[in-house]
Amino acid sequence: MERVFIVLSVVGIVYVAFVIFLSSGKKETNDLLRKQLTFENFRHRLESEKLQILLNNAGIPSASGNINFFRYGAAGLYLILQLAVGYIRKEQPTATDFIIPAVIIMATSSAKFAPLGALLRKVHTNKISKKDGELISFLKLYENNRMKKRGHTEFSSFCAQVASHSKYIRQDLYELSQRSIDEGVEKGIDWFCNQFPANHPFIADVRSIMLATESMSADDDAISYLNNQSKIIGKISADQYERKMGNIGSVATLITLTPAMATFLMIVVLSLLYVMIIKNQYSTVGL
């Protein structure tokens, strides 16, 4: 109990000293210090641009400062509690007391090898894949709409209709619908395509197909052009399917190989145990 009271006394003395320090200074200095010691200011100092980009790409509405606050807070709290408990129990600090907080900080960092960083990148990759899938669906629906011989839906109205059934490109399609009315279809399509990365695998084809089709006033010319571009649209869809199945295939292969590897390791372990049993029996007979 003596060490418990020592720890509580130290905490109380530090708190009292801090309060006295704040109350004894000038008002302007104290106000400035209080503003600097707020949670918002502390959280702002912990913000990370790299982590914030990963959070935004993954669609997680949280600030990087909050994540880092909980990261360092959990690691620091664990270390303080371990040291305080060890001091009360009269135990020397061990390497584990320092390794675990370091592991917490490393595991929750934005690095590629860290679990949190890898998870955020995986979520971002899945989001991109689903967004590309909706873009291909939009292109196919656009093709079907313009291929109608009895008239087609106007471009802005068509985008608004498709947006209501989309999830990942919904806001972009609504904005495209509005921009095509205010600024023109050509500028609206340019803006929409610019929302995707410059190295996107097929956004350039989407841009050229829609711009060329919308520039044709005659429906027969647009239908003839889309018939010629149907192979390109089909190839875009096939390539996206192959990329999706490739990702699924790697995971499926890992899941399939896991039982085989476990069986192989079990056979090896059983073989070693059998050899050890035979060896012990021969040793007993020899004695």
Compare 238 and 157 and report the one with higher pLDDT. 157
Task: Please report the pLDDT score of residue 172 as a whole number.
Answer: 92
Is pLDDT at 130 greater than 90 in this prediction? no
Q: How far apart are CA 229 and CA 231, in angstroms?
A: 5
pTM of the model: 0.65
**CA angle (82 as vertex; 77, 88 as ends), nearest 5:** 125
Is the pLDDT at 91 greater than 90, yes or no? no
41 vs 92 pLDDT, higher one: 92
Long-range pairs of 137-140 with CB within 8 A, sequence gap ≥ 24: 137/166, 138/162, 138/166, 138/169, 138/173, 139/206, 139/209, 139/210, 139/233, 139/236, 140/233, 140/237
260-286 confidence digits (pLDDT tens): 788 888 888 888 888 888 877 766 655
pLDDT of residue 287: 47
Local confidence band at 37 (pLDDT 50, 70, 90 cut-offs):
low
pLDDT in tens, 170-200: 999 999 999 999 999 999 999 999 998 888 8
% of the chain at pLDDT higher than 70:
80
- At 162 the pLDDT is 92
